[in-house]
């Protein structure tokens, strides 16, 4: 996997469990719990003596899983982690020597930063993906928003104080590549072998990350006259008519189509935080993208698309 593919996968999964494991025996069942929860990814931190062996076991059992090492505080530890099978190196702070070692060995490295000067250190070494740590204590999403001005090319893996309750705020930030944290894999859950609970927490986080909310309902009508007639009826309920080329919006909630468009009855538009990530998520659930409906912005990011599968006679429309 190239560095670019690795970072794209991070973005698509969107979540990086930060693991502190005391007993390497528990590493493989933990990895299975994460995979079952839809998060085939983990940062196993060198905060315990079991980290190295845990990385070895997980990478052997699940070679496809994105397993990296965290809390890598020097090049020696990076070397040890990579020898054990770590596919990427993460650190809480910025250590030039560790970064240099990783770059010279072509190992993806994500050092921690929380100030503009540290970001510039990263940029000067060619890094555009950095870990924002400790995220909450350093200003959280407000800080990320400020970083996006001068450092628009930088994407962040954010960790530190993030959990199910504030995850959405980070998911909405345009410069967040992925959100990391220990809340899904608390040490006591691992020690007590609460694998089902870990899987549940992963699933809960994954769905929350997408931020699906109903944006509008699209109703298919055969022609413009029928659409105008329906619009007049909705207007009787006090809805405001906004006439467009191919449809009429009633407030923002109902779109009356001027001809039969996708979906037997029409479409349901869902807003989500990131369409590429939502597509990756929905693929697991059996949905596929109708490629002809994909629209992108100047940066190549998808802004709208439809899925091929209908629900209850309605096409599913994803919007940002
Ligand atoms: C890390 O190293 O990324 C943090 O320890 C994770 O932070 P959290 O425990 O607050 O999630």
pLDDT in tens, 152-197: 999 999 999 999 999 999 999 999 999 999 999 999 999 999 999 9
The predicted structure's pLDDT at residue 238: 96
Q: What is the mean pLDDT of the chain?
A: 97
Q: Which two tokens stand for residue 266?
A: 């029409």
Best of 134, 158, 176 to mutate for ligand 1, by most ligand atoms within 8 A of CB? 134
| Ligand 1 touching residue 159 (CB < 6 A) | yes
Mean pLDDT of 79-105: 98
Asked whether the predicted pLDDT for residue 320 surpasses 90, the reply is no
Residues 151/119, Cβ–Cβ less than 8 Å:
yes
Q: How far does the centroid of ligand 1 lie from the alpha carbon of residue 179, in Å?
A: 10
Q: How far does the centroid of ligand 1 lie from the alpha carbon of residue 160, in Å?
A: 4
The predicted structure's pLDDT at residue 1: 85
Q: How far does the centroid of ligand 1 lie from the alpha carbon of residue 183, in Å?
A: 8
Q: Give yes or no: 43 in active site.
A: yes
Q: What is the pTM of this model?
A: 0.93
Question: Which stretches within the chain are classed as H helix?
Answer: 3-13, 27-36, 51-61, 75-84, 96-104, 116-124, 140-148, 167-172, 187-191, 195-210, 224-235, 275-283
The predicted structure's pLDDT at residue 289: 98
Residue 17 pLDDT grade (very low, low, confident, very high; cuts 50, 70, 90)? very high
Q: How far is CA 181 from CA 16, 177, 187, 237, 272, in A?
A: 7, 14, 12, 47, 22
Q: How far does the centroid of ligand 1 lie from the alpha carbon of residue 18, in Å?
A: 6
Q: Which of 26, 87, 131, 258 is catalytic?
A: 131
List beta partners, residue 319: 271, 304
Best of 130, 140, 161, 181 to mutate for ligand 1, by most ligand atoms within 8 A of CB? 181
Q: Which two tokens stand for residue 320?
A: 């940002």
Residues 19/46, Cβ–Cβ less than 8 Å:
no
Q: How far does the centroid of ligand 1 lie from the alpha carbon of residue 49, in Å?
A: 18
Token match 């250590």: residue? Answer: 95
| Ligand 1 touching residue 18 (CB < 6 A) | yes
C-alpha count within 13 angstroms, C-beta hemisphere, residue 86: 32
Backbone angles phi, psi at 233, to 5 degrees: -65, -45
Residues 256/230, Cβ–Cβ less than 8 Å:
yes
Q: Of the candidates 244, 270, 276, which has an alpha carbon nearest to the alpha carbon of residue 257?
A: 244
Q: Which of 43, 52, 136, 255 is catalytic?
A: 43
Q: How far is CA 204 from CA 37, 104, 160, 272, in A?
A: 9, 38, 19, 16
The predicted structure's pLDDT at residue 121: 98
Which DSSP state fits 191?
H
Which DSSP state fits 298?
T
Ligand 1: residue whose CA is nearest its atom 8: 160
Q: Give yes or no: 299 in active site.
A: no
Residue 245 burial (CB count, 10 A): 5
């Amino acid at each position: 996997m190239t560095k670019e593919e690795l970072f794209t996968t991070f973005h698509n999964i969107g979540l990086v469990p930060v693991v502190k494991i005391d007993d390497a025996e528990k590493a493989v069942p933990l990895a299975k719990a994460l995979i079952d929860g839809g998060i085939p990814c983990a940062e196993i931190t060198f905060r315990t003596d079991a980290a190295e062996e845990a990385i070895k076991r997980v990478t052997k059992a699940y070679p496809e899983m994105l397993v990296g090492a965290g809390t890598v505080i020097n090049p020696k530890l990076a070397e040890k982690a990579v020898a054990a099978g770590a596919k990427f190196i993460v650190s809480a702070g910025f250590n030039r020597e560790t970064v240099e070692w990783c770059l010279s060995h072509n190992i993806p490295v994500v050092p921690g930063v929380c100030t503009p000067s540290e970001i510039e250190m990263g940029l000067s070494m060619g890094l555009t993906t950095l870990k924002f740590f400790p995220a909450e204590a350093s200003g959280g999403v407000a800080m990320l928003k400020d970083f996006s001005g001068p450092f628009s090319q930088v994407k962040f893996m954010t960790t530190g104080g993030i959990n199910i309750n504030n995850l959405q705020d980070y998911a909405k930030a345009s410069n967040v590549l992925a959100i990391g944290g220990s809340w899904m894999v608390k040490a006591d859950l691992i020690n007590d072998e609460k694998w089902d609970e870990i899987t549940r927490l992963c699933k809960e986080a994954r769905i929350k990350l997408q931020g699906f909310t109903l944006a509008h309902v699209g109703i298919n009508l055969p022609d413009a006259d029928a659409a105008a007639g329906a619009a007049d009826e909705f207007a009787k309920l006090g809805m405001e008519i906004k006439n467009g080329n191919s449809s009429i919006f009633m407030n923002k909630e109902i779109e009356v189509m001027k001809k039969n468009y996708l979906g037997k009855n029409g479409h349901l538009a869902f807003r989500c935080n990131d369409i590429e990530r939502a597509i990756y998520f929905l693929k697991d659930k059996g949905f596929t993208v109708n490629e002809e409906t994909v629209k992108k912005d100047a940066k190549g990011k998808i802004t709208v698309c439809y899925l091929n599968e209908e629900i209850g006679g309605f096409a599913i429309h994803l919007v940002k």
